[in-house]
C-alpha cells in the first residue's frame, strides 16, 4: 500500500516535468545553424565517383583518403551515426521528457509493503532502491541540456578527432621508418666495427675486451632494429584497423605530402583565433548548453565553463602557432645542413671515382650523409605534424581545457 506521503511526492515529481532542462553528457553549441550531419557510414554508390570508390577500396592508403575512410569504415563513426538517429530532430525538452517518463514508469511500478507482510525488509529495500533510481532519472531530466544539435556536434568532433589521430599515426609510421633507417645504418656500422676489432685482435693490435665491447654494441644495435621493426608493424596494424581493414590485410602505406616550408607567412593569427573560437565544437556545445539550461545553478555553471573554455581555445591556437614557427625554423636548419652534406657526399663520390679518398673516409662521409638525410626527413615530418595541428585547432579541435 502506498502512503499518502508517497502519493504527494509523486505529484511533486509530475509538477517538476515542466522544468524540462538538459544535460545528457555531450553538450550544446553556438546559436548558428548546425552543419548537416555527414551521411551514414557505408554511403550509397552515388556518394563518390566510381574512381573514388575504387581508390577507397583498394589496399593502398593515401594520406588524402584518411577522412573518407574514417567516415565510411570506422566502427566508432558508424556506431555514432546510428545512435544519432535516436536524437535527430529532438530538442532538449523532448530528451528531458524521456528521463521524466522513465522516472514515472519506475514510480508507477513501486509497491511499498505493509509492515506485517512477508519479506517486509527485503521488499521495502527494493522499493527504496527503485525510488532512488527514479529520483536520479528526474534529476537527469532537470539538468539535461542536450538536444539533437549537441549530440550531432559531439559526434562530428569525434569523427574529426579520429581523422586527426589517423593522420598522426600515418606520420608516426613514417617517422618509425626513418628511425629504422638510422638504426639499420648504426647496426651496419657496428658490424663493421666488430670485424675491424676482430681483425686487430688477430693481429695483436687490440685486446679481446675491445672485441667484446664491439660485439655488445652490435647486439644492442640489432636489438634496436628489431624493436623499431616491431613498432612499425604495430603502428601500421592499428592504423589499418582504424580505417576499416581487417587484421592481417596487406596494405601499402603511401608516402606523405611534403610540408609547406613557410606556412606561417600566409597566416593571420588573430583572424585564425577568431575562426577557432567560432568553429570549436566544445564551445558550440557549451553555448547551446547555456541556452538550454533551465535550472539556474546549471546555467551559471555552464556560463563559467564557457568563459574559461574560450580563453583556453585562444591559448591553444597560440601554442599551436608557436610550435609551427619552431618547426619551420628547425626544418630550415635541417634542410640547410642536409644540402651541405649532400655537396660533401657528391665530392666524396667524385674522389672515390678518381681513387683519391680512402675507404674509411668515404664510409665516414656516407654515415654523415645518412644522418643528415634522416634529420631532414624527421624535421619534415615534425613540420607536417605542426601544420596539421595548427589547422585542426583553427577548424574546431583546439583544446578547450
The whole-number pLDDT of residue 44 equals: 79
Q: Is the pLDDT of residue 7 over 70?
A: no
**Mind listing the pLDDT tens digit for each residue in 277-325?**
999 999 999 999 999 998 899 999 999 999 999 999 999 999 999 999 9
Tens-place pLDDT, residues 148-177: 999 999 999 999 999 999 999 999 999 999
User: How does pLDDT run across 221-230, given as a tens digit for each residue?
Assistant: 999 999 999 9
Mean pLDDT, rounded, for 5-28 = 34
pLDDT on residue 388: 98
Average pLDDT for 259-267: 95
Instruction: Give the model's pLDDT for residue 128.
Output: 93
Q: What is the pLDDT of residue 42?
A: 65
- Whether the per-residue pLDDT at 182 is higher than 80: the answer is yes
Is the confidence at residue 37, as pLDDT, over 70? no
Does residue 10 have a pLDDT over 70? no
What does the block give as the cell for 361?
A: 673516409
User: Average pLDDT in the 354-366 region?
Assistant: 92
Amino acid at each position: 500500500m502506498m502512503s499518502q506521503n508517497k502519493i504527494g511526492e509523486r505529484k511533486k515529481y509530475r509538477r517538476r516535468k515542466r522544468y524540462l532542462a538538459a544535460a545528457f553528457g555531450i553538450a550544446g553549441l553556438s546559436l548558428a545553424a548546425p552543419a548537416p550531419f555527414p551521411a551514414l557510414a557505408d554511403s550509397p554508390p552515388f556518394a563518390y565517383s566510381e574512381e573514388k570508390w575504387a581508390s577507397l577500396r583498394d589496399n593502398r592508403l593515401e594520406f588524402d583518403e584518411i577522412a573518407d575512410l574514417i567516415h565510411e569504415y570506422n566502427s566508432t563513426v558508424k556506431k555514432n551515426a546510428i545512435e544519432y538517429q535516436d536524437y535527430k530532430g529532438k530538442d532538449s525538452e523532448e530528451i528531458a521528457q524521456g528521463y521524466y517518463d522513465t522516472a514515472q514508469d519506475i514510480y508507477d511500478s513501486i509497491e511499498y509493503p505493509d509492515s506485517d507482510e512477508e519479506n517486509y525488509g527485503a521488499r521495502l529495500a527494493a522499493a527504496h532502491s527503485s525510488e532512488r533510481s527514479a529520483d536520479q532519472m528526474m534529476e537527469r531530466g532537470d539538468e539535461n541540456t542536450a538536444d539533437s544539435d549537441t549530440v550531432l556536434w559531439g559526434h562530428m568532433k569525434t569523427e574529426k578527432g579520429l581523422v586527426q589521430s589517423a593522420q598522426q599515426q600515418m606520420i608516426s609510421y613514417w617517422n618509425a621508418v626513418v628511425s629504422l633507417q638510422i638504426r639499420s645504418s648504426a647496426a651496419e656500422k657496428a658490424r663493421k666495427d666488430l670485424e675491424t676489432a676482430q681483425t686487430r685482435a688477430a693481429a695483436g693490435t687490440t685486446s679481446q675486451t675491445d672485441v667484446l665491447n664491439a660485439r655488445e654494441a652490435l647486439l644492442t644495435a640489432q636489438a634496436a632494429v628489431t624493436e623499431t621493426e616491431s613498432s612499425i608493424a604495430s603502428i601500421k596494424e592499428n592504423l589499418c584497423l582504424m580505417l576499416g581493414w581487417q587484421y592481417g590485410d596487406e596494405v601499402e602505406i603511401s608516402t606523405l605530402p611534403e610540408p609547406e616550408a613557410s606556412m606561417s607567412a600566409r597566416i593571420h593569427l588573430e583572424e585564425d583565433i577568431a575562426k577557432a573560437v567560432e568553429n570549436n565544437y566544445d564551445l558550440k556545445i557549451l553555448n547551446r548548453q547555456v541556452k538550454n539550461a533551465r535550472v539556474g545553478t546549471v546555467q551559471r555553471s555552464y556560463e563559467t565553463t564557457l568563459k574559461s573554455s574560450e580563453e583556453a581555445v585562444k591559448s591553444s591556437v597560440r601554442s599551436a602557432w608557436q610550435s609551427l614557427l619552431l618547426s619551420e625554423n628547425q626544418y630550415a636548419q635541417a634542410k640547410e645542413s642536409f644540402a651541405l652534406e649532400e655537396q660533401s657526399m657528391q665530392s666524396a663520390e667524385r674522389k672515390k671515382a678518381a681513387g683519391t679518398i680512402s675507404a674509411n673516409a668515404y664510409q665516414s662521409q656516407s654515415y654523415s650523409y645518412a644522418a643528415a638525410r634522416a634529420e631532414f626527413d624527421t624535421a619534415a615530418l615534425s613540420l607536417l605534424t605542426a601544420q596539421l595541428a595548427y589547422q585542426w585547432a583553427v577548424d574546431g579541435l583546439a583544446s578547450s581545457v
